[in-house]
Structure 1
């Protein structure tokens, strides 16, 4: 049975009479990368700050490996490595000196071998003896990951970790997180960059105006009872259009005038449709289901809920 690493039950945060986070519940399992998605100001950072007690929650329960952060904070937080907003370092110290300074503050003894291991993991061997003020944003981010990992946490928490990174830096972060997840480390990451989150996460939750409006597996697809879009290359074009219209099939044709149809129907209808087209002497070159991207699903969900990324 998979272990629950982070458990959040009915989390509420109010400032005055205004609810910033409204009755949110979710969990993160061992070795899972879980994403919090939503526009800026949706409440993602408030949730993360509540988990690590940078702010006090109004009500609700937060447990890390079974330890309640209110009653057993020391036991709970020792399992956490986090970067909330931008990682901060002493700029006139080297990367290695910064890591050693952080290690000296850890409740858990950190060996020199462990520090070397982490430096190699984040690919900072060539720059670790340079002063941090000379580091690029991507290098500082890698040093931040090293700092978060140094005491071997079971849960990593990142708030907008790829902000400002170039595509190479984003890919590197993604690969590091996936590698750690295979070793049993859990990752909670918040972002508004949907394409990156689609490539990174196993599950995601959508936060809108402080509410959790949707939670799903990243690979979750439509069921057979729901309509999907299918791309079909059908020739000749005029006859195919006429038949689909007569059969009352919902479709659009490619704008460039090529015989590529995008048909919306139940998956269970496709075999019969193909048979009818073939009997009508329509040549069928392509039939493929169109899988919705995370961005399409996000916009569909938030539009239904009256929200947006703006």
Structure 2
């Protein structure tokens, strides 16, 4: 499988602050690659280096098998990007915005092609309406249409669902899946909305304070052996004392709620054990989100910090 992005030992310092620290990762052709981390983890800084908006302090970036610094113009013709909120002409229509950006890219396009782009992002019915009348989600989708107008092979989206309502988030999510599955695009998407990345990413990286913590296939990293089980009983403290004196003691998590980290296939045995010892169970909930995974890693590293919601 060919590499679209290859980053080697990338570092960026702003004075005494290290924003990106010896970062290496790869993005394969066809990936939807989740770029995950808290606000301030180094995601946007890395993306700006990928787009040559800022220069690395050290390290190397290769896109499409070529060194970025030596082949900037040719490489960036194959890249489309939306950095945070798209920069649009709010008093012009969606169609006129798309037409202007196409011309700025040096691309000759027909009305039919522009309308196809707007249809792809679900804006064909609002093509003639001014952008100032659009919701934030619609503006975001128009920004993606602008990023796609020159038919790039690589799409980079920095926090594309930031500030969107649930419907807007769903619309952008579905659009990203279409870009990957129907159009064969490679997509790098940064976000702190972990539940969204979990739904769409094929591979991912987790950053913490500018450093890579883990990288790999989402299906591999989300190991069912690390499922968080939360149990509510009529007497949680008594149930916890029972578990502390059993083989389940090593799985217990935290100090307050009755939680265990374990393989989800063992849940029936756990329930049978509790019932056999006269524990009256009110509910059993399981979860395995990237947030839990992240927290388990940072706890091992001596840090306990939560993602922003």
Q: Per-residue displacement from partner, 1:4-33 (whole Å, max 9, x unpaired)?
A: 111111111122343221111111112211
CA distance in structure 2 between the aligned counterparts of 1:201 and 1:54, rounded to whole angstroms:
25
CA distance in structure 1 between the aligned counterparts of 2:218 and 2:110, rounded to whole angstroms:
38
CA distance in structure 2 between the aligned counterparts of 1:37 and 1:295, rounded to whole angstroms:
10
Is contact 1:67-1:75 (8 Å) kept?
Answer: no
Displacement after TM superposition at 1:68 (Å): 1.8
1:169-180 correspondence runs (5 A): 169-180=168-179
| CA 1:107–1:72: 2 relative to 1, 3 Å | farther
| CA 1:109–1:27: 2 relative to 1, 3 Å | farther
| CA 1:172–1:242: 2 relative to 1, 3 Å | closer
| CA 1:74–1:271: 2 relative to 1, 3 Å | same
CA RMSD of aligned residues (A): 3.7
1:265-304 correspondence runs (5 A): 290=286, 292-304=288-300
Q: Per-residue displacement from partner, 1:70-102 (whole Å, max 9, x unpaired)?
A: 101111101110011210111221111111111
Q: Corresponding residue for 2:95?
A: 96
SS in 1 for 2:117: helix
Is contact 2:224-2:263 (8 Å) kept?
Answer: no
Find out whether 1:212 has 2:212 as its counterpart: yes
SS in 2 for 1:126: helix
Displacement after TM superposition at 1:217 (Å): 2.2
Displacement after TM superposition at 1:216 (Å): 3.0
Q: State the structure with more CA Rg.
A: 1
CA distance in structure 1 between the aligned counterparts of 2:10 and 2:116, rounded to whole angstroms:
37
CA distance in structure 1 between the aligned counterparts of 2:261 and 2:163, rounded to whole angstroms:
39
Is contact 2:37-2:208 (8 Å) kept?
Answer: yes
Q: Per-residue displacement from partner, 1:225-254 (whole Å, max 9, x unpaired)?
A: xx766689xxxxxxx9999777533377xx
CA distance in structure 2 between the aligned counterparts of 1:221 and 1:34, rounded to whole angstroms:
15
CA distance in structure 2 between the aligned counterparts of 1:159 and 1:272, rounded to whole angstroms:
43
1:66-215 correspondence runs (5 A): 66-182=65-181, 183-215=183-215
**Structure 2: unaligned runs, 5 residues or longer:** 232-238, 253-257, 279-283
Is contact 1:49-1:55 (8 Å) kept?
Answer: yes
CA distance in structure 1 between the aligned counterparts of 2:34 and 2:297, rounded to whole angstroms:
16
SS in 1 for 2:125: coil
| CA 1:94–1:303: 2 relative to 1, 3 Å | same
Q: Per-residue displacement from partner, 1:30-75 (whole Å, max 9, x unpaired)?
A: 2211111112122111101110011111221112211222101111
CA distance in structure 2 between the aligned counterparts of 1:211 and 1:263, rounded to whole angstroms:
29
Displacement after TM superposition at 1:267 (Å): 7.7
CA distance in structure 2 between the aligned counterparts of 1:244 and 1:192, rounded to whole angstroms:
35
Give the TM-score normalised by structure 1: 0.81
CA distance in structure 2 between the aligned counterparts of 1:268 and 1:6, rounded to whole angstroms:
37
Q: Corresponding residue for 1:34?
A: 33
**Structure 1: unaligned runs, 5 residues or longer:** 233-239, 253-260, 283-287
SS in 1 for 2:49: helix
Q: Per-residue displacement from partner, 1:167-214 (whole Å, max 9, x unpaired)?
A: 011001001101111132011111111222222222221112111122
| CA 1:307–1:61: 2 relative to 1, 3 Å | farther
User: Please, which moves more after superposition, 268-277 or 131-140?
Assistant: 268-277
CA distance in structure 2 between the aligned counterparts of 1:241 and 1:136, rounded to whole angstroms:
49
User: Please, which moves more after superposition, 173-182 or 297-306?
Assistant: 297-306
